[in-house]
């Protein structure tokens, strides 16, 4: 495969200083926590790449580095060829970042928020109107375009958040725990949306700890354990005929030297 | 372009919510109502009085003048014991005590102003806090000076060294309230800035809507400006409402006509006052923005700003009552403004000080905006655990 990577991480490392309180919660006496430890991987155009790992593996930290919200202590990452360290603003225009922590102001309508975030990314007005019409129709938001966000159903709210995150037509969509905390219906809204994005030719990078989600969506998987890349490859390469679940625990035991 | 959208969003958020508008205008309305009511209570005095006045010494001429003027309302009782009489005035048992110097009528008749000898005296002891007593005092002194005029300055009224007034006057209370004006203005501006900035900045951070803006390519300085500019405009409306509330109720509070207070100052003074009041709004809004950006929740932000508010209140209260503060205070934000407003109200000459205070306010505003932008880029502050 001679494709160039659309997202490329090179030796990312991130250390957090733990506060007194955090040390108690994590039951450790160490002041420093290495959340991501020399992580490298590549995701390719038009594919869905899944970072699979248990709680605390460093998934969120990695995705935040890629979306320039936090800076790595060492290493660098490139999105569409732009460095997250040196070209933060450019990178932010190339990605749509979604997590459950990013919220929309309940007071406004989907239509207004779409325009607002379009303006935040510097999308021009004509283009914005065109995209709004297309995306709202495609995801069935048009009927709710003028309803306050706080009055929308959870599923519709989720759709609006997703559409608003790609208002600027980003090449790459980064999604931390896409289905976490969602009921089955809303979760399906999200997975369908991601498949739709893939069909539109977008590249997607997501993190999860749910095996079925990886099996359903991902073309390529990276297994993160303790901030390190434990195994990487296409789903078929990696699984060698086993289920992803079995393969994961095999790798996990290999690293931790213990059975779960 | 991005900044414009940020500013518009803030206005839209605010003016689309009637609740927020009401919380903004309400303080002004409340102040007006409370102050007017207070003023009404203090100044609405009954029309007729019962003057029960003690007289020490005697003057047939003056007593006759009083009796014909006050008629039924006045009862004069002669006494010899000055100390006991003074005690009665203090206790409020009688309206007032009039004390004539010895052989008053004759002394007046034969007094030669060019002799250099002390003139015969009338002293009136009264209590100004007591409406009846102070009304009598006002009426009596004007009668006496009219009488004095008619017989060519032959005696003095209340010119001795004694303390004639046995209570603090209403005027004293009023002048204190008047002196409090700058303090009140600053406090009110502070509270209106505080509530909207906390709601908008700390609220957005807590709700996670600020993070959504942070993942876009908008510059951090634009986000900071996009908060401080519209919030300052909105807070200025709240401040104006409070200011109008005070200004409109002051005359009633001080028992004056509306025109009386305002004509005294020159146009330039008004501009300077306005400049001071307007420049303090972005200062406080930007300071609150820094705090709100730093804090993890609205609750945390409001406890920080509560502390700052108390410090500002105490300092400006102190500067209101401690006279002789050096001009250097104008370099301290907020405090300098309080003192400058006060000086303008007192004697209208504080141009340099006022301008420096405005410049200091604006400089600190710029500093706070810069700091907010820095904090918005700080991962520890925005995304720390
Ligand atoms: N801001 C921070 N300050 C201190 N420690 C942090 C911070 N963010 C993350 N950590 C720590 O770094 C480690 C990795 O966290 P991260 O959130 O990246 O894990 P994750 O793979 O997303 O896990 P989860 O499935 O729980 O979301 C954890 O031990 C976490 O406690
Ligand atoms: Mg996570």
Residue range A84-95: mean pLDDT, rounded = 92
pLDDT grade, residue B370 (50/70/90)?
Answer: very high
The CATH superfamily label for domain A5-24+32-101+170-256 reads P-loop containing nucleotide triphosphate hydrolases (3.40.50.300)
Residue B163 lies in a domain: no
In chain A, which residues have their Cβ closer than 8 Å to the Cβ of B382?
A: 69
Question: Who contacts A196 (Cβ-Cβ below 8 Å, separation ≥6)?
Answer: A138
B27 plus B74 within the same structural domain? no
CATH of the domain at B101: 3.40.190
> Can you name the residues that pair with A16 across neighbouring β-strands?
A33
Residues B174 and B143 in one domain: no
> Which tens digit of pLDDT belongs to each residue from B225-256?
999 999 999 988 887 887 777 777 766 666 55
Q: Is residue B161 part of a domain?
A: no
Task: Enter the pTM of the model.
Answer: 0.77
Q: Is B157 part of any domain?
A: no
- Domain shared by B355 and B273, yes or no: yes
Q: What is the DSSP letter of B349?
A: -
pLDDT of amino acid B166 = 46
Inter-chain CB proximity A120 and B219 less than 8 Å? no
The lowest-confidence range among A183-192, A193-202, B64-73, B86-95 is B64-73
Q: Which residues line ligand 1 (CB under 6 A)?
A: A 16, 18, 22, 33, 35, 53, 55-61, 209; B 383-385
Query: Looking at the structure, do residues B78 and B219 belong to the same domain, yes or no?
Result: no
> Which value does ipTM take for this structure?
0.90
Q: Determine, yes or no, domain membership for B158.
A: no
Whether residue B291 is found in the same domain as residue B216: yes
Same domain as B24, residue B64: no
Residue B315 pLDDT more than 60? Answer: yes
Q: What is the pLDDT of residues B76-94, one digit of tens each?
A: 889 888 899 888 888 888 8
Residues B280 and B144 in one domain: no
Cα B311 to ligand 1 centre (Å): 39
> Phi/psi of residue A60, each to 5°?
-60, -45
Q: Which residues of A203-234 are buried (b: 16+ CB within 10 A; e: fewer)?
A: bbbbbbbebebbeebbbbbbbbbbbbbbbbee
Whether A116 sits inside 8 A of B204 (CB atoms) is no
Q: Does some domain include residue B45?
A: no
In a domain, B279, yes or no: yes
How do residues B145-202 score in pLDDT, each as one tens digit? 777 777 765 566 665 555 555 443 445 555 565 667 777 778 888 888 888 899 999 9
Specify the 3-state DSSP secondary structure of B59: coil
Alpha helices in chain B (DSSP H): 2-15, 18-43, 60-70, 82-91, 104-110, 131-150, 170-197, 203-207, 209-214, 220-253, 258-262, 267-294, 298-321, 335-347, 351-377, 379-383
Q: Are B144 and B275 found together in one domain?
A: no
Distance A8 CA to ligand 1 centre (A): 21
The pLDDT of A169-189, averaged and rounded, is 90
Q: Is A125 on the interface with B (CB under 8 A)?
A: no
Say if the Cβ atoms of B211 and A102 lie within 8 Å: yes
- Give me the residue spans of the domains in chain A: 5-24+32-101+170-256
Which residue is closest in CA terms to ligand 1's atom 1?
A: B384
Distance CA A218, CA B348 (A): 75
Q: Which ligand is nearest to the CA of A31?
A: 1
Domain range for B10 is 2-40+169-383
For a substitution probing ligand 1, which of A14, A20, A21, A59 has the most ligand atoms within 8 Å of its CB? A59
- Mark whether B8 and B90 lie in a shared domain: no
Of the residues B89, B119, B151, the one at which a domain ends: B151
- b/e map of B209-242 (b: 16 or more CB within 10 Å)? bbbbbbbbbbebbbbbbbbbbbbbbbbbbbbbbb
> In chain B, how many domains are there?
2
Q: What is the mean pLDDT of chain B?
A: 81
pLDDT tens figures, A97-131: 999 889 999 999 999 999 999 999 999 999 999 99
Query: Mutation test of the interface with chain B: which of A105, A122, A166, A171, choosing the one with the most B Cβ atoms within 10 A?
Result: A105
Average pLDDT over residues A62-80: 94
Both B207 and B329 in a single domain?
yes
| Domain shared by B104 and B178, yes or no | no
Q: B313 alpha carbon to ligand 1 midpoint, in Å?
A: 42
pLDDT of B262 higher than 60: no
B264 falls within a domain: yes
C-alpha–C-alpha distance, residues B128 and B130, integer Å = 5
DSSP state of B323: -
Same domain, residue pair B65 and B193: no
Identify the pLDDT of residue B228.
Answer: 96
């Amino acid at each position: 495969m001679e494709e160039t990577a659309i997202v490329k991480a090179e030796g990312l490392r991130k250390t957090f200083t733990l506060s007194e309180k955090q040390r108690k919660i994590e039951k450790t006496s160490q002041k420093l926590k290495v959340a991501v430890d020399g992580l490298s991987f590549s995701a390719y155009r038009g594919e869905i790449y899944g970072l699979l790992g248990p709680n605390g593996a460093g998934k969120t930290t990695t995705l935040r580095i890629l979306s320039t919200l936090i800076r790595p202590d060492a290493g660098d990452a490139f999105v569409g060829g732009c460095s997250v360290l040196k070209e933060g603003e450019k990178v932010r225009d190339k990605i749509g970042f979604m997590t459950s922590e990013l919220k929309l102001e309940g007071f406004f309508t989907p239509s207004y928020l779409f325009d607002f975030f379009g303006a935040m990314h510097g999308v021009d007005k004509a283009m914005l109107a065109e995209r709004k019409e297309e995306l709202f129709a495609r995801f069935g938001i048009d009927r709710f375009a003028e309803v306050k966000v706080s009055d929308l159903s959870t599923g519709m709210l989720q759709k609006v958040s997703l559409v608003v995150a790609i208002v600027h037509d980003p090449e790459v969509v980064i999604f931390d725990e896409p289905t976490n905390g969602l009921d089955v219906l809303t979760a399906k809204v999200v997975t369908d949306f991601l498949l739709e994005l893939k069909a539109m030719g977008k590249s997607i990078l997501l993190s999860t700890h749910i095996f079925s989600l990886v099996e359903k969506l991902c073309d390529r998987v990276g297994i993160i354990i303790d901030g390190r890349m434990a195994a990487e490859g296409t789903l078929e390469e990696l699984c060698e005929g086993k289920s992803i679940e079995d393969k994961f625990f095999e790798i996990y035991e290999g690293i931790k030297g213990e059975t779960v | 372009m991005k900044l414009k959208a940020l500013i518009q969003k803030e206005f839209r958020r605010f003016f689309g919510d009637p609740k927020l508008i009401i919380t903004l205008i309400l303080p002004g309305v409340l102040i007006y109502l409370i102050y007017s009511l207070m003023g009404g209570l203090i100044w609405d005095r009954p029309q007729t009085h019962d003057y029960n006045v003690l007289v020490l010494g005697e003057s047939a001429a003056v007593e006759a003048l009083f009796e014909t003027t006050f008629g039924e309302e006045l009862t004069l009782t002669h006494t010899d014991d000055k100390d006991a009489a003074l005690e009665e005035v203090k206790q409020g048992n009688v309206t007032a005590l009039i004390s004539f110097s010895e052989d008053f009528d004759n002394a007046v008749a034969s007094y030669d102003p060019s002799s250099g000898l002390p003139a015969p005296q009338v002293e009136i002891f009264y209590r100004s806090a007591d409406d009846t007593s102070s009304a009598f005092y006002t009426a009596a002194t004007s009668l006496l000076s009219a009488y004095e005029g008619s017989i060519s300055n032959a005696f003095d009224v209340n010119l001795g060294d004694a303390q004639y007034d046995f209570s603090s006057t209403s005027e004293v209370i009023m002048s204190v309230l008047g002196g409090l004006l700058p303090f009140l203005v600053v406090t009110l501006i502070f509270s209106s800035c505080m509530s909207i900035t906390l709601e908008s900045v700390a609220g957005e951070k807590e709700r996670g809507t600020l993070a959504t803006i942070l993942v876009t390519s908008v510059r951090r300085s634009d986000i900071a400006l996009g908060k401080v500019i519209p919030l300052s405009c909105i807070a200025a409306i709240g401040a104006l409402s409070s200011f109008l509330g005070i200004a409109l109720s002051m005359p009633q509070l001080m028992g004056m006509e509306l025109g009386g207070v305002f004509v005294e100052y020159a146009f330039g003074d008004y501009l300077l006052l306005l400049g001071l009041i307007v420049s303090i709004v972005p200062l406080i809004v930007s300071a609150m923005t820094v705090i709100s950006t730093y804090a993890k929740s609205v609750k945390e932000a409001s406890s920080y700003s509560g502390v700052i508010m108390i410090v500002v209140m105490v300092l400006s209260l102190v500067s209101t009552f401690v006279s002789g503060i050096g001009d250097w205070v104008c370099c301290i934000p907020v405090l300098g403004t309080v003192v400058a407003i006060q000086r303008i109200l007192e004697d209208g000459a504080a141009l340099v000080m006022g301008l420096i205070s405005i410049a200091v306010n604006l400089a600190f505003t710029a500093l706070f905006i810069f700091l907010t932008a820095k904090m918005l880029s700080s991962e520890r502050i925005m995304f720390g655990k």
